[in-house]
Amino acid sequence: MAIKTNEIWATGRRKCAVARVRIKSGNGKIVVNGKEATVYFGSEALNGFLAQPLAVTDLNGKFDITANIQGGGPCGQAGAMRHGIARALVKYDDSLRMVLKNSGMMTRDSRVKERKKSGQPGARKRFQFSKR
C-alpha cells in the first residue's frame, strides 16, 4: 500500500536532461541531487532561472523543492528543473496554469542537438567542394 505524503511530483525535460521534481510546503529550500542548488549550479543566472516559476506565481519561500536530475549539462538541467517545478505548481493549484503558460514555462523546449551525418565533419558543415 502506498504511503500518503503531502509531496507533489512532476517531471521536467530539456535537451537530454530529465528532472524529477518534488515540492512540499516549507521555507524555500532547493536541493538538487543531494546538494544545495546554489552549490550544484554555481551560476547565479541558472539559480535565477530555477526560481522563475515561483517568482511569477508569487510563491517564493513557500515550498521546499527536491530534484533528481540526470543527463545533459548545467543549462539543460536547469531548464528541465524549471519545467518540472512549473508542472508541479500546476498540480498544486490549477489556477496557476495560465500564468505559467503565458510565461512560457509549461512548454517543453524540444530543441536538441542535431546528429552528425556520415561523410561530413558535423551536422550541417560540409567538406569544401572541389571541381578538379
pLDDT in tens, 24-42: 999 989 999 999 999 999 9
Q: What is the pLDDT of residues 57-91, one digit of tens each?
A: 999 989 999 999 999 999 999 999 999 999 999 99
Cell of 73: 549539462
Backbone phi and psi for residue 68, each to the nearest 5 degrees, phi listed first? -115, 120
The domain segmentation of the chain, as residue ranges, is: 8-102
Residue 107 has pLDDT above 80, yes or no: yes
Question: How many other CB atoms sit within 10 Å of the CB of residue 112?
Answer: 11
Q: Which one of 3.40.50.300, 3.10.20.30, 3.30.230.10, 3.20.20.80 gives the CATH number of domain 8-102?
A: 3.30.230.10
Residue 114 has pLDDT above 80, yes or no: yes
Written as one string, the DSSP assignment of 12-50 is EEETTEEEEEEEEESS--EEETTEEHHHHH--HHHHHHH
Mean pLDDT (the chain, rounded): 92
Rounded mean pLDDT, 3-18: 89
